[in-house]
Amino acid sequence: MISQELNDQITRIGPETQAGAVLRRYWQPAALSDEVQGDVPVPVNLMGERLALIREGDGLLPITRQADPSEAPTHHPASGDIREVQGGPRYPAVDRAGVVFAYLGPGDPPAFPNFDCFRAPEDHVFAFKGLWQCNWLQALEIGIDPAHASYLHRFLEDADPEEGYGQQFRDKAAHTDMPMTQVLREYPRPDIQVDETEYGLRITALRHMANDLTHVRVTNQIFPEAICIPMSREMTITQWHVPVDDENCYWYTVFTSFKTPVNKEVMRAQRLKEHRLPDYAPLKNRENNYHYDPAEQERLTYTGMGLDINVHDQWAVEGMGPIQDRTQEHLGRSDVAIIRYRRMLRHAIKAVEEGDEGALPMRGADVTRLVGPLSNDSIAATQDWKSASRAADLARRAECPWDATV
């Protein structure tokens, strides 16, 4: 557990806050590219600031808009309500991988790293987003807890992996015929290793199986508030947890295919069944108890809240309250990545305060040489899991139709 003062320091992100100052040193997802069409301004509520994006010619220009205090922070008003505040800040924005990124910080924005999601061609990436009613940090922390998938996302029956296109954990594990859902269910207590990297953290979950085999799952924390994880043998997920304000956040996900072009129509339709437009709020939510069904919980899922794992995560993080009370938490061994991440964030807060921005992850030397990150599932002989995991990643990259070499 931590003090209230420290909890405030690492969670609050308004313009005058310490964590807000760190997040403002990085590009932040502000909208899906699809949302900004024509010359209609799109309201963007980002890190406690009320902005609007407009596309001018080929480029994008975010403008400050006049705030109406009676509006809910996520409500999209008619575009006629948006007016530029004279003399207000004007922030740069760019389109990358189906997402509009904005830079709200001082000085020049950093370069983009050459991660797979930014290198893959347009037809091999698909972006979507969803609104969660909670602070961004608890949303991020569930993504760097590799053990939770064995419980929160437990399926009591395995679906046919052929039917699992575009869905997390519905593929076969590595090169075996074992469904990923079975691996997670049967080996619920992974050994977790965390390594600090130039971009954040590499998190390795080892599930020791029968016959001296080990399931190796490599995921990543990309500083400050993204994760990169495997979704299936074909795709990875790069996901940002972006603050709307202190008590709401969006997840923005870029799905990257290492094989065939992404079927954007199927993937968008799958997700629109679970979200409403225009604010991408989930249809299952606190007000309708996430469609909890005790009969389903009895026979099919751990949560009784359907097959969409985003709903399970949403319930878990919103259930902690608008800002998780970390003065009452009890971290355990499986929280090792969360502990390491908070330490990195505190170091970053100190670096910004001391004017030492070069000490921040991906704000120092040339970040364009950063590639990957390695993000996959493999099954290996226990004694050489490290080299086997690396070899599996290289094999996928070698067959990739776009240049994914590292």
According to DSSP H, which parts of 208-293 are helical?
Answer: 264-272
Tracing tokens 């313009």 back to the chain, one arrives at 15
According to DSSP H, which parts of 251-334 are helical?
Answer: 264-272, 294-299, 309-318
Q: Strand, helix or coil at 48?
A: coil
C-beta closer to Fe ion: residue 31 or 140: 140
As measured in angstroms, the least distance from the Cβ of 143 to Fe ion is 7
Give one DSSP letter per residue of 243-262, joined into a string. EEETTEEEEEEEEEESSSPP
Note whether 208 and 382 are within 8 A (CB). Answer: yes
As measured in angstroms, the least distance from the Cβ of 137 to Fe ion is 15
As measured in angstroms, the least distance from the Cβ of 255 to Fe ion is 15
Tell me if the bond preceding 224 is cis, omega within 30° of 0.
Answer: yes
How far apart are the C-alpha atoms of 216 and 191, rounded to whole Å?
10
How far apart are the C-alpha atoms of 133 and 291, rounded to whole Å?
17
Q: Interface residues for Fe ion in 268-297 (CB under 5 A)?
A: none
Angle at 117 between CA 334 and CA 101, to 5 degrees: 95
Q: Interface residues for Fe ion in 24-43 (CB under 5 A)?
A: none
How far apart are the C-alpha atoms of 33 and 94, rounded to whole Å?
9
Pairing of strands 371-372, 200-208: unpaired
C-beta closer to Fe ion: residue 145 or 246: 145
C-beta closer to Fe ion: residue 165 or 302: 302
CA-based Rg of the chain, rounded to a whole angstrom?
Answer: 21
In this chain, which residue has its C-beta nearest to Fe ion? 313
Tokens standing for 299?
Answer: 């026979």
As measured in angstroms, the least distance from the Cβ of 311 to Fe ion is 10
C-beta closer to Fe ion: residue 316 or 360: 316
User: 256: buried, middle or exposed (CB in 10 Å: 19+, 13-18, 0-12)?
Assistant: buried
C-beta closer to Fe ion: residue 308 or 313: 313
C-beta closer to Fe ion: residue 151 or 292: 151
- Residues β-bridged to residue 65: 84
Give the x-and-dash track for 301-340 against Fe ion (CB under 5 A).
------------x---------------------------
Note whether 217 and 180 are within 8 A (CB). Answer: no
As measured in angstroms, the least distance from the Cβ of 221 to Fe ion is 14
C-beta closer to Fe ion: residue 237 or 388: 237
C-beta closer to Fe ion: residue 35 or 308: 308
**Which residues are at the interface with Fe ion (CB under 5 A)?**
313
